[in-house]
Amino acid sequence: TSLKKSKIKQEKKVITHVSSVGARLLGRLDQIGQKLITRFRNLEVVTILQKMHKILAEHVIGVKVLKRLKST
């Protein structure tokens, strides 16, 4: 259970930086990525997943920043 608690804490940290939907998407992408990496152990898969994660993270964080700018 201590491992579960630390995972929850990590997820909460992510949510403070990005929107909750975005955080869930990133988390899901990471889960899928880990499954694919363990299954294939392929460098191409890893690089594609990293690119996807980067694009998604930039988009989600960008949306959050835009919202903050509009609110001020």
Distance CA 50, CA 56 (A): 10
The CB density around residue 24, as the number of other CB atoms within 10 Å, is 14
pLDDT, mean of residues 24-49: 78
Specify burial of residue 71 (Cβ count, 10 A radius: 0-12, 13-18, 19+): exposed
pLDDT averaged over every residue in the chain: 69
- Domain ranges (residues) in the chain: 43-72
Two tokens at 14?
């992510």
27 pLDDT band, cuts 50/70/90, is confident
Question: Residue 72 carries which DSSP code?
Answer: -
pTM of the model: 0.42
